[in-house]
């Protein structure tokens, strides 16, 4: 109680000081105006007038700085945050957090097992390291937070005057349109996609996957993922190596992906410059990608967009009449429920979200899996024997669940190297939680990498596939494994993602033997942009006969 009274008195003093500062600034301004008004240009005092002007200007600037500092002190006393390295003295740690996220996330979880506040390049971040607190904020208080747009991806979000924030499927679960789109996508995957259609689409892209004696893993998996997500998003789009238009689309997406994961001081400087000026090469590329997707929508609708005078001459989209059973179709089918009404730019942004985010997640997962295949060849051989014993030569989503050891391999690899090591949300309003008073727009982070390496796991740093098999499953700690998100904004394919990755890895192991062609990165390395990826590496793929 004494502490609360003291805080209230401090706040009152700060408010009083701010009022005094404002009054002083006004008095100085009035005095300056009087000096100018009373000065006689003919009296030869022109130099003194100029001097008075600059002195008054300097005093005004000083008073503005004082008011800003008082406001900063006021907010500091008003809001209460968890302890942690969050002061200006820790700016070096902030830069280090930006550039070495994985290492710092584990260190912070060791130093602050429950919760801490850190200063990052993008602002204050309340980092949750305890499973109970993570579930309390990301699930129990999900209505108070929204997924924060990743600062590295200068994405397709746009703001229009008189219209709500334009969003895709990933970013703000509070938005009505995002909720209905997310639900539509989940229903589409469960009811239409998870079956023969998905099996054929994945198998087609696996057959076209370009494996050689020296292939770039990240680049190869990216093109595989992009083509798969594009075919699932718009089934009528021609996906062919001979299609120069689609080839340019792929190349532009890859340029954006490289920019996201670049980890250099030059990249950081460019990011800051683009935030200040609003000009960026990545943003221009992104506009070209959106234009390409917009042509899909126009082709799907079979004509020009209808226009209406009461929507400021914006493009208006209506539900499609031709059923294609793809992601674009599922979005178009819920447009009549949207508020505000989704136009072509919105739909294109949603489709780009699906392709870009989906391909980044799938590329990241497959890159880590192939790295662990060559890091742990004995475990990989066990998986290969399993898929050959089961005759799993072609992708089949439902049959992938029978590959017990292969799926355990996938889960353990994603435990040690999650594709998303931290999930960041930002608060929509001030709120009180536990003993803290959290300010609006404060970031909350769920430390996934810390969950996966916590003391609850037996030998957490060890790659142990057997922990996911048989009776050992009962020893898996509760609420300590979540590689694909939390709460209502979890991955739309959450129910099927493990079977999807298991099936893809199974087919790759059935037909190929993978060997390293040079130094391999360590599992604790990686670049973290939109997803956590291992550093660039190459492998050799040797095709196996069906009887090998």
Binding site per annotation, positions for heme? 491
CA 141, CA 233: separation in Å to the nearest integer? Answer: 32
Angle at the Cα of 230 from the Cα atoms of 362 and 414, rounded to 5 degrees: 5
Beta pairing partners, 146 = 426
At residue 439, φ and ψ (nearest 5 deg) are -80, 155
Q: Any idea what DSSP says for residue 175?
A: S
Cα radius of gyration rounded to whole Å, the chain: 28
Helices 377-389 and 497-511, packing angle to 10 deg? 90
437 in Cβ contact with 79 (< 8 Å): yes
Q: Which residues are annotated as a binding site?
A: 491
128 in Cβ contact with 444 (< 8 Å): yes
Write the DSSP string, 378-435.
Answer: HHHHHHHHHHHHTT--S--TTGGGG-HHHHHHHHHHHHHS-S-SEEEEEESS-EEETT
Q: Could you tell me the two tokens for 480? A: 């300590």
Write the DSSP string, 278-347.
Answer: ---HHHHHHHHHHHHHHHHHHHHHTSPPEE-GGGTT-EE----SS---SHHHHHHTTGGG-SSPP-HHHH
Beta pairing partners, 427 = 145
35 in Cβ contact with 98 (< 8 Å): no
CA 132, CA 459: separation in Å to the nearest integer? Answer: 21
Angle at the Cα of 192 from the Cα atoms of 187 and 195, rounded to 5 degrees: 120
Q: Could you tell me the two tokens for 308? A: 């209406």
Q: Are strands 431-433 and 315-316 parallel, antiparallel or unpaired?
A: unpaired
383 in Cβ contact with 283 (< 8 Å): no
């Amino acid at each position: 109680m004494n502490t609360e009274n003291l805080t209230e008195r401090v706040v009152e003093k700060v408010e009083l000081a701010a009022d005094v500062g404002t009054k002083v600034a006004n008095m100085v301004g009035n005095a300056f105006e009087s000096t100018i008004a009373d000065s006689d240009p003919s009296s030869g005092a022109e130099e003194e007038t100029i001097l008075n002007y600059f002195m008054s200007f300097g005093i005004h600037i000083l008073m503005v700085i004082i008011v800003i500092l008082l406001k900063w002190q006021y907010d500091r006393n008003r809001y209460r945050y968890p302890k942690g390295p969050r002061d200006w003295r820790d700016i070096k740690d902030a830069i280090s957090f930006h550039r070495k996220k994985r290492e710092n996330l584990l260190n912070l979880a060791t130093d602050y097992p429950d919760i801490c506040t850190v200063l990052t390049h993008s602002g204050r971040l309340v980092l949750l390291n305890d499973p109970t607190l993570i579930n309390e904020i990301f699930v129990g208080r999900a209505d108070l937070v929204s997924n924060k747009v990743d600062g590295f991806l200068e994405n397709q979000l746009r703001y229009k005057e008189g219209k709500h924030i334009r969003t895709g499927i990933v970013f703000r679960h509070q938005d009505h349109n995002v909720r209905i789109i997310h639900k539509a996508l989940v229903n589409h995957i469960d009811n239409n996609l998870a079956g023969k259609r998905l099996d054929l689409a994945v198998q087609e892209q696996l057959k076209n996957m370009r494996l050689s004696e020296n292939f770039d893993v990240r680049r190869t998996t990216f093109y595989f993922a992009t083509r798969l997500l594009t075919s699932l998003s718009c089934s009528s789009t021609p996906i062919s190596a001979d299609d120069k238009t689609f080839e340019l689309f792929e190349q532009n997406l890859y340029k954006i992906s490289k920019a996201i994961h670049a980890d250099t001081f030059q990249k950081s400087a460019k990011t800051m410059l683009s935030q200040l000026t609003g000009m960026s090469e990545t943003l221009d590329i992104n506009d070209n990608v959106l234009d390409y997707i917009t042509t899909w929508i126009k082709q799907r609708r079979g004509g020009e967009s209808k226009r209406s005078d009461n929507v400021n001459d914006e493009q208006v989209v209506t539900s499609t009449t031709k059923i294609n059973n793809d992601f674009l179709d599922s979005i178009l089918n819920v447009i009549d429920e949207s508020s505000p009404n989704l136009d072509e730019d919105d739909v294109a942004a949603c489709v780009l979200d699906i392709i870009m985010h989906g391909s980044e997640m799938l590329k990241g997962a497959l890159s880590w899996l192939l790295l662990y295949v060559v890091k742990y060849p004995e475990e990989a051989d066990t998986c290969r024997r399993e898929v050959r014993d089961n005759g799993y030569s072609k992708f089949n989503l439902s049959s992938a669940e029978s590959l017990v050891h292969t799926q355990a391999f996938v889960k353990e690899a994603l435990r040690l190297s999650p594709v998303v090591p931290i999930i960041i949300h930002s608060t929509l309003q001030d709120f009180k939680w536990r003993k803290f008073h959290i300010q609006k727009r404060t970031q909350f982070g769920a430390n996934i990498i810390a969950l996966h390496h916590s003391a609850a796991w037996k030998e957490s740093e060890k790659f142990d596939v057997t922990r996911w098999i048989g009776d050992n499953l009962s020893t898996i700690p509760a609420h300590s494994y979540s590689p694909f998100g939390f709460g209502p904004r979890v991955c739309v394919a959450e129910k099927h993602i493990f079977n999807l990755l298991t099936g893809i890895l199974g087919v790759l192991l059935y037909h190929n033997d993978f060997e390293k062609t040079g130094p391999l990165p360590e599992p604790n390395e990686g670049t973290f942009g939109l997803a956590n990826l291992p550093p660039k590496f190459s492998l050799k793929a040797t095709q196996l006969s069906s009887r090998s």
